[in-house]
Amino acid sequence: MLALLGSIAFSGKAIIVKLAYRHGVDAVTLIMYRMLFALPLFALIAWWAGRGKPALARRDWLGILGLGASGYYLASFLDFMGLQYITASLERLILYLNPTLVLALSVWLFGKRVTWRQLVAIAVSYSGVLLVFGHEVNFEGANVLLGSALVFASAVSYAIYLVYSGEMVQRLGALRLVGWASLVACVLCIAQFVVLRPWSAALVAPEVIWLSVLNATLCTVAPVLMVMMAIERVGATVTAQTGMVGPLSTLMMGVLILDEPFTGWIAAGTALVLVGIWMLARWKD
């Protein structure tokens, strides 16, 4: 139940971002507000997870800075930028290619061997994304290409975080690492706004403020805690498989809340992505 709720809550991020864009806010301002409201919560997580633990060493701080910049700041910013141009459904499908990107980086950086079964699973997943992408390009135009490229770059950035965080997770613990890395991302997102926007840009519609509070709590901090608690109880494999509900929940919320179209192409693409990721998880060895 924790894994299911965490996946659904996290998938709601794209819906809230799309709703906020209707009020004329830009990506830099919107992500600043999300991280501003999330910052004290992540600080509390970092403090709680670090109680009674040894102080962080210099290499720990350097690792946290690097992972926070790539895994949370850059990935979040690119995702928010991409959502200006594509539907929430396509965004979630692209982000769900993350396991295939982690595998590709492991092959490239660490020489991990890939089996023919894994290649088949990857091909199935990407064919699903390409199916939905091709459908949206035909109807929405060139901006879909830009938005998809930005979201794909976000997925790559987060995959880099996952690949390099393995050793630090073992040493610091998942919750402590997430807390500190997210704090780094919060500071970078707020600093980005200060550098790139005048203070007057912070004057946004009240709806944007409330949507950002909801995004920071229900769709950012809460899913992190629920997924970590789920992993403690049922393990990473079951949690990851339960998380496959994410694209489906985004698709349904997009249809019901944003009035996004639901076609046979989107349904078929979503099914292919989920089948491919299921195959990859099943054949990971």
- At 7 the pLDDT is 80
End-to-end CA, the chain: 27
Rg from Cα positions in the chain: 18
Q: Which residue has the higher pLDDT, 65 or 100?
A: 65
For residue 198, pLDDT beyond 60: yes
Per-domain residue ranges of the chain? 2-282
- With pLDDT > 90 as the criterion, what percentage of the chain qualifies? 28
Q: Rounded to 5, what percent of the chain is helix, strand, coil?
A: 85, 0, 15
Span 19-78, pLDDT tens digits: 999 998 999 999 999 999 999 999 999 999 888 888 888 889 999 999 889 878 998 899
For residue 150, pLDDT beyond 90: yes
Q: Please check whether residue 240 is in contact with residue 5, taking contact to mean a CB–CB distance below 8 angstroms.
A: no
Q: Please check whether residue 107 is in contact with residue 114, taking contact to mean a CB–CB distance below 8 angstroms.
A: yes
